[in-house]
Copies of this chain bind each other. A is one copy, B any other.
């Protein structure tokens, strides 16, 4: 239905792997792992999460453009404004 629907299983797999990384971080803290090693793992997890976001955004933009073409551009302006706001939040997060 939405832009990412075709890749739903792929996103779920990636999010489950990220959940595993977060649990790994909890274990590292519990076991007093060296701080820098925890930070390395946090950076990897953040990158994995950002990569999910970039994939969702790519699917969404493709879907928006298809929708705009089919509807003759109706609502296209709001959709672009909404996507741009989401991109700004990603860049700043």
B56-A80 in contact (CB<8A): no
Q: Out of B23, B76, B84, B92, which one reaches A92, CB within 8 Å?
A: B92
Residues 17 to 67 of chain A near chain B (Cβ within 8 Å): 18-19, 22-23, 25-26, 29-30, 32, 34-36, 38-40, 42-47, 49-50, 52-54, 56-66
A67 to chain B, nearest CB (A): 9
- A92: chain B residues at CB < 8 Å are 43, 50, 92
Most chain B CB atoms below 10 A, which of A1, A26, A42: A42
B86-A40 in contact (CB<8A): yes
B50-A46 in contact (CB<8A): yes
- A52: chain B residues at CB < 8 Å are 25, 42
Given pairs A12-B29, A42-B53, A58-B84, 7 additional interface contacts (CB within 8 A): A1-B32, A15-B26, A25-B52, A36-B82, A42-B50, A66-B76, A69-B76
